[in-house]
A and B are shown apart, each in its own frame.
Chain A
Amino acid sequence: MSTHHDNLPATAEPAEDRFTNPGFPPHTPRRSDVDERAARRASVQVVTLFTISALASIAFLVAYYAIDPELKGSIIGIGEVNLFHVVLGLTMGLSLLGIGLGAVHWAKTLMPDEESVEERHTMASAQEDRDAVGRQLSHGWRSTHLNRRSALLGSAGGALGLFALPLVVPVLAGLGPRPRGELYTTNWEAGKRLMIDPSGAPIRAADVTQGSVFHVMPDGFVGAAAHELDPQDMMTSKAKDQVILVKLDPAKIKSQKQRDWGYDGIVAYSKVCTHVGCPVALYEQQTHHLLCPCHQSTFDMTDDCKVIFGPAKRPLPQLPITVDDEGYIVAVDGFREPIGPSFWERKRPGILMEDEG
């Protein structure tokens, strides 16, 4: 019999009774089942819980009208709070909790406690019922003429399918205007001064000492000038024009392009993270790491802001800068690539730019 010496798993011997049915554990009556005093005590407890709930509901209503909504009070361990809200919350919570605890306690101590068995029956209906349903469905299908006139089915399907469009289109269209060229451009352009955010003061190259960091916005979009703008333009500018300006030791900069686009070690980078667009602004002046607070993407400022940690995939775009006649830092040009998170058409501006009209 033991001629097979392969590595196949052993086939289990069909076992009739692999487990003996242990049956029910012996029924132990509860204290309230055998002791009338315990049962009475349980019923008093349930009544008490329901009464607490009822009183809390009444207290809620009283508090709603009696307490001044502005009334402040101090609670130990929490501090100053609005008493109106605290009392409403406590009373309503107590009211619900009383009902819940009362119902559970009632079910556990007073309602019947016998274990019972519900036998399973076969899921399928009787064969004759199933045949009858099949005959009805088949008759119904034939009486619609759908089996002979297929145009009926096509047109009905078309009508129902198209009906979804009036529901879906307004939702999609209501998401706002489709993003177009503004994804590729910012308000930075040649000769635009870099201004300190939020004061709006221009920055002299000589004032940027090593180790310092300046949070920068373009001239005309920060300080007093920003309040003249349309609020939407101001917020859009705040979202995409934000720039971080630092001065590094030129000898520490590893990228020639970064050195060329900066001025004497002063470099400016977009502050919008290339991952999902949070402001990357945690600059560590000793390591020159730039950390994004949202998902911990870390950029190396000495190496053209390459990603050294985290989910971001592209380096931060650099803003080319120089100094104007008066010694203030200005942009040489706008950003040479779209700032911020990636999007599908990022490398093909034509797709969105052409239909800007």
Chain B
Amino acid sequence: MSGANDMPRGAEPATCGASIPVQREQGQRQVFCGLAGIVWLHRKIQDAFFLVVGSRTCAHLLQSAAGVMIFAEPRFGTAILGDRDLAGLADCNEELDRVVTELLARRPDIGTLFLVASCPSEVIKLDLDNAAARLAREQQGRVRVLAYSGSGLDTTFTQGEDTCLSALVPELPEAAAGSDALLVLGTLPDVVEDQFRRLFEALGIASLHFLPPRRGSELPPVGPGTRLLAAQPFVGGTAAALVDRGATLIEAPYPFGIEGTRAWLGAAAAAFGICAARVEEVTAPAAARAARGLERYRTQLAGKRISFLPDSQLEIPLARFLQRECGMELIEVGVPYLDRRMMSAELDWLPADVRLTEGQDLERQLDRLRADRPDLTVCGLGLANPLEAEGLTTKWSIELVFSPVHGFDQAADLAELFVRPLNRRSRLAF
């Protein structure tokens, strides 16, 4: 297991990672669009409602991606465009106003309403930013109305969280001058958020905020004193918008595994002038516990070959964790898109000869996969069972987005998610 000296240093990131050749693919994709982010965002921000302005396809996607109707009373819905809405934009805006007014009357608990653009709403050039401003005026401050795009034309899967959080950035209050605070960016399960809060407090970073907040009414302040730490790799657009508002981005790998978590906390501590010895002191017990927990899974994963199909943007940090801390061999790591700025520290930690692909040409990628026959394939829900039927063992990637997998105390759980399909395969007689 590596020590603190393996920590990537913010000064020298771009060069090393940039040396890994990236294969760009174009063709059929098997990924969700950004609307899928609503599935966890609507649970995380408890007083928000997500209204997709789109087609029946969008509504169907949302309920299918949510595992078909798990939540009895969802805080999301779709305003389904009809033929008449397509005929004239003036009527379309009127209709949207009507639907929103009805919705807000029925659901007085809504504090923040997101109008979410879709492929069809973008193609017909329905201006939801304008609509949001108009509806917010009508609500006279009672409800905050914001717009963002979850359209498949410009977002894939987790990128929908990035566009959503970006829409929140202009709403954040201005931080008081001279106030230094840490802002952790990207949805984390509540339990993980609480663990990190305890660690940051122990490090002496008392002024700490999370975006998204648990309630839309509790938006964190931002300003020149804000140090920004991304907990998820898919929030690059939001990070850039926060930097525009004066925040400083802390370059760090992501808090997956012991190494990643330690480096992530360490980078934050360094930004606040907290010495490495203090970081070691605070993190040592949790890191030691995590190492004990991880050991049993490491023996089961070491030497096993793994491929990632592009899906959630977590592929690179997870591959790094599985290779460096669990001893797995990386065959192919596919990402929907490569955000070099957000990935620079992670790329430094990938082996230079890894087959890194960006984008997708599905059938050709599956040809490669069949030729590689890795021990484990990480892929989306549409592909998992057919690949299992071909004799490949799979891990569906959506679980990695929904489960608590960040931080020291989840490092073993994260490894276990990859062990389980292998374990299961070895148990079954047929």
| A and B associate in one complex | no
Which A residues form the contact surface with B (CB < 8 A)? none
